[in-house]
Amino acid sequence: MNEEILISGRMNPHIDPTLGIWGWEIPLYLFLGGLAAGILFFAALYSLLGKEKELPTAVRKATFLVPIILMVGLGALFLDLKNKLYFWQLYTTIRIESPMSWGAWILMLITPLSMAWCLSYWRDLIPNWTWQLKFLEWVEVFVQKYRKTFAWTMIISSVILGIYTGILLSAFNARPLWNTSILGPLFLVSGLSTGAATIMWLSKEKLERSLFSKIDLLLIGIEVFFIIHLFMGFMASNAAQIEAAQLFLGGAYTLPFWGGVVLLGLVIPAILEVMELRGKHIPVALPAILILIGGLVFRFIIVDAGQISQYFY
C-alpha cells in the first residue's frame, strides 16, 4: 500500500495537532448574529406589509429581545479577542476584503437600529411612560415618522448580517470545509429559521403562530436542500474538500451532525409542526427549542470541524 507519513518536529503544543484557536465564542456569536438577523428581518418585512396589528409579536414584541441578543453576541466576540484593550482598532478602518471588518461595522449599524425600533414601541409595553431624556422621545417620534425607511434599512442590514455569519467562515480558502459559497445562504436561512421559531414561541395569537410555523417549515425545507447541496459540492470537489466532507460521512462529526443537527434540529421539529398544523395539540415551545438548539449546535460543529480540515502537502 502506498503510504505517506508526516512527522512534525514542531514544538508547539499550543497550536498542534490542530489550530483550534476559536473556542465557544465565535460559534455563539455567529448563532446570536443569525438569530437577531432573523427576528429583525421578519419585524421589518411585516411592518412594510402593514401587518403590525395582525402580527404583534413579529413586528413588536420579539424585537425587544434583539438588542440583548446583539449585546451578548458582541460580548462573545469581544471575549474571543486576545488583545481586548485594542478592540477599538476594529473601528479605525473599513477593510472591504475582510469579512471580520465589515461584520464589526454591520453590527455597529444594526445594534442602534434595533434599539431605536424598540424605543418606537416602548409605550406598547408601558403605556403611560414618560421619557426622562428628551433625546429618547425624539428618537421615538423620529422612527414612528420614518418607519418605512427604517424598515427597509433593517431588512437590508439584517440580510447582510445573516449572510455575513456564513461568509466569515467561507472566505477562508485555507479551511476546505468552510471554503464553499453555499455557507453564506445556508447560515442566513438557518438564522431566519431560528428567528421564526422564536417569534412562534413568543406569540399568543393563533393566526400568527400558524403563519410562523408554516414559514419555519419552508425554511427547514430550504435548509435541508442547502445541506444536501453542500455535500454534493464537496464530493464533486478536490481531495481536500472530499477529505473535509469525510468528517461528516463516517468521521468524528457524523453522529453530532446528522443526529443532533439534521434529525433533532430540523426533521423532528418539522414533523411536530406538521402535526400541530393538522390539529394535534403540541406545546409550541418544543419545536421552537429544538430548532434553536439545533441552530446553535450546527454552528459549533461547523466552526470546530472547519478548524481541523486542512490542505495536505
What is the pattern of x (binds other proteins, CB under 8 A) and - over residues 66-85? --------------xxxxx-
The answer to whether residue 313 forms part of the interface with other proteins (CB under 8 A) is: yes
CB of 1 to other proteins, least distance (A): 7
Q: What is the dihedral of CA 113, 118, 119, 123, to 10 degrees?
A: 160
Q: Select the residue interacting with other proteins from 24, 49, 68, 86 (CB under 8 A).
A: 86
Contact of 249 with 215, CB cutoff 8 Å: no
Instruction: Write b or e for each residue in 228-266: b if 16 or more Cβ atoms lie within 10 A of its Cβ, otherwise e.
Output: eebeeebeeeeebbebbbbbbeeeebeebbeebbbebbb
CB of 107 to other proteins, least distance (A): 12
**Residue 22: all three cell numbers together:** 476559536
**Per CB under 8 A, which region of 15-23, 57-65, 145-153, 276-284 contacts other proteins?**
15-23
Q: How far apart are CA 29 and CA 119, in angstroms?
A: 24
- Measured between alpha carbons, how far apart are the two ends of the chain, in Å? 19
**Per CB under 8 A, which region of 18-26, 108-116, 186-194, 263-271 contacts other proteins?**
18-26
Q: How far apart are CA 305 and CA 297, in angstroms?
A: 12
The answer to whether residue 4 forms part of the interface with other proteins (CB under 8 A) is: yes
Q: Residues 210 to 269: which contact other proteins by CB under 8 A?
A: 238
Based on CB atoms, which residue is closest to other proteins, 135 or 313?
A: 313
DSSP at 126 = S
Q: What is the CA radius of gyration of the chain?
A: 21
Place of cell 438569530: 35
Q: Select the residue interacting with other proteins from 51, 52, 98, 116 (CB under 8 A).
A: 98
**Residue 131: all three cell numbers together:** 421619557
Based on CB atoms, which residue is closest to other proteins, 60 or 175?
A: 175
Q: Select the residue interacting with other proteins from 144, 149, 173, 181 (CB under 8 A).
A: 173
Q: Select the residue interacting with other proteins from 49, 156, 174, 275 (CB under 8 A).
A: 174
Helix (H, G, I), strand (E, B) or coil at 312: coil
**Residue 125: all three cell numbers together:** 409595553
**Nearest Cα to 183, choosing from 238, 231, 219?**
231
The answer to whether residue 24 forms part of the interface with other proteins (CB under 8 A) is: no
How many residues touch other proteins under the rule CB under 8 A: the total is: 48
The answer to whether residue 181 forms part of the interface with other proteins (CB under 8 A) is: no
**Residue 119: all three cell numbers together:** 424605543
What is the pattern of x (binds other proteins, CB under 8 A) and - over residues 99-138? xxx--x----------------------------------
Binding stretches for other proteins (CB under 8 A): 1-15, 19, 21-22, 26, 80-84, 86-87, 89-90, 92-93, 95, 97-101, 104, 171-175, 238, 306-307, 310-311, 313
